[in-house]
């Protein structure tokens, strides 16, 4: 996977609205890039599944990258997986909408397949986008929309208050000692709506990030993120205590690191590390 080429000029970050959703665009000397995780959330798609599918395509080589981006709704920059503007149409065309059972979600993806590439091109080139026709609302529809908007605002405020305590706790414990098993780390990461993973998929991703060598031993540069816990077992015949292959464990800092690499969008919600035991 290639990274964004370095440049003397800092990348420019802009955004436009697409049918009520924000689309962030990062522009540097290699062109303009869209944030895959954000596009997937807009279209109610699984970001990790789409990232893996994209990575397997020959036409995506050299046109994806991972870099720090601060999204408009975020309070700081985070690691995000970006795709170049030139492969956005190919990515959308490769989504099989017939497999999407929810009609509203399917319509949203199919609309993006028709309109999103043009909207992105218009934004990058500075051309004004064609206005989206809006059918006239009946009084009942207008009232319903107003009620839904107010309910959404109240729900969002309640969710922010709910996340404030875990976020504060994370800041306090980010330097704490302790570690998690792959299973428990995957469980914690899955609480983020932008992440979908399991312990085996998480280990595969750790290998893709080159955090461990071929034998699964953590590299020294990732000592703050990964550790090994010795394991023993009882020999079934001699009843001797034998050494088993050490178990990979993910530290608190490692959990934060993987959360960013996987495109997490919400503060981590987790248990006190070091109390989960071996998986």
What pLDDT score was predicted for residue 78? 86
Comparing CA positions, the residue from 121, 84, 117 lying closest to residue 2 is 84
Burial of 163-176, coded b for 16+ CB within 10 Å and e otherwise, reads eeeeeeebeeeeee
What pLDDT score was predicted for residue 141? 57
pTM over 0.85, yes/no: no
Do residues 77 and 70 touch, judged by C-beta distance below 8 A?
Answer: yes
What pLDDT score was predicted for residue 92? 92
pLDDT in tens, 86-142: 899 889 988 988 889 999 899 999 999 989 988 998 888 886 554 444 455 555 555
Residue 77 Ramachandran class (φ > 0 left, ψ -120 to 50 alpha, else beta)? beta
Whole-angstrom distance, CA of residue 21 vs CA of residue 232: 52
* Pairing between β-strand 78-84 and β-strand 226-234 as defined by DSSP bridges: unpaired
Which two structure tokens, joined as six digits, stand for 123? 């934004």
pLDDT in tens, 128-158: 554 444 455 555 555 565 555 556 556 656 6
Whole-angstrom distance, CA of residue 182 vs CA of residue 173: 19
Do residues 92 and 18 touch, judged by C-beta distance below 8 A?
Answer: no
């Amino acid at each position: 996977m290639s990274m964004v080429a370095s440049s003397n000029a800092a990348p420019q970050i802009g955004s436009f609205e697409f049918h009520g959703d924000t689309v962030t665009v990062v522009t540097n000397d290699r062109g303009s890039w869209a944030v895959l995780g954000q596009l997937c959330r807009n279209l109610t798609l699984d970001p990790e599944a789409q990232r893996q599918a994209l990575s397997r395509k020959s036409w995506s080589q050299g046109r994806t990258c991972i870099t720090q981006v601060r999204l408009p709704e975020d309070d700081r920059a985070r690691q995000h997986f970006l795709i170049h503007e030139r492969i956005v149409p190919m990515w959308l065309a490769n989504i099989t909408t017939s497999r999407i059972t929810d009609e509203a979600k399917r319509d949203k993806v199919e609309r993006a397949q028709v309109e999103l590439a043009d909207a992105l091109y218009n934004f990058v080139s500075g051309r004004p986008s064609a206005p989206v026709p809006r059918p006239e609302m009946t009084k009942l529809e207008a009232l319903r929309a107003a009620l839904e908007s107010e309910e959404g605002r109240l729900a969002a405020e309640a969710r922010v208050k709910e996340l404030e305590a875990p976020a504060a706790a994370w800041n306090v414990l980010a330097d704490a000692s302790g570690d998690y098993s792959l299973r428990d780390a995957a469980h914690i990461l899955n609480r983020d709506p932008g992440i979908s993973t399991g312990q085996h998929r998480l280990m595969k991703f750790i290998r893709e990030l080159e955090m461990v060598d071929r034998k699964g031993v953590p590299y020294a540069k990732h000592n703050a993120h990964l550790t090994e816990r010795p394991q023993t077992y009882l020999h079934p015949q001699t009843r001797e205590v034998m050494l088993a292959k050490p178990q990979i464990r993910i530290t608190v800092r490692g959990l934060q690191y993987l959360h960013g690499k996987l495109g997490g969008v919400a503060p981590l919600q987790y248990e006190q590390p070091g109390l989960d035991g071996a998986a």
